[in-house]
């Protein structure tokens, strides 16, 4: 029963880590797009577009933070996985 619980926990952690990696990839892609929008909009020289560009830049920063949070959480989950696997191996 204990081994079964450990296996289930390891599978759950693996799934969580996989999803965090997926979110991190999506956030990174969106951040890059937002940065490109910022560059494109500021090059047009219109005041309203410059304001939109600043909003795009802010969104890019926030997405960058989401990416970093996902990386950190995935690393923590990986450590938990290793702990479960070591516990199951003993």
Tens of pLDDT, residue by residue over 7-60, are: 888 889 999 999 999 999 999 999 999 999 999 999 998 999 999 999 999 999
What are the structure tokens assigned to 6, written together? 């450990």
**pLDDT tens-place string over residues 5-22:** 878 888 899 999 999 999
Q: For residue 8, give the 3-state DSSP assignment.
A: helix
What band does 1 get if pLDDT is binned at 50, 70 and 90?
low
Looking at the structure of the chain, the number of domains it has is 1
| pTM > 0.85 | no
Which domain covers residue 57, as residue numbers? 2-89
Q: Please compute the mean of the pLDDT values over residues 81-85 and round it to a whole number.
A: 84
Question: Are the beta carbons of 63 and 36 closer than 8 angstroms?
Answer: no
């Amino acid at each position: 029963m204990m081994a079964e619980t450990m296996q289930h926990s390891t599978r759950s952690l693996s799934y969580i880590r996989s999803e965090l990696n997926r979110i991190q990839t999506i956030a990174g892609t969106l951040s890059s797009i937002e940065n490109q929008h910022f560059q494109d909009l500021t090059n047009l020289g219109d005041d309203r577009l410059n304001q939109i560009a600043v909003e795009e830049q802010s969104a890019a920063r926030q997405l960058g933070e989401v990416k970093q949070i996902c990386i950190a959480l995935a690393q923590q989950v990986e450590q938990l996985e290793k702990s479960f696997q070591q516990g199951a191996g003993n």
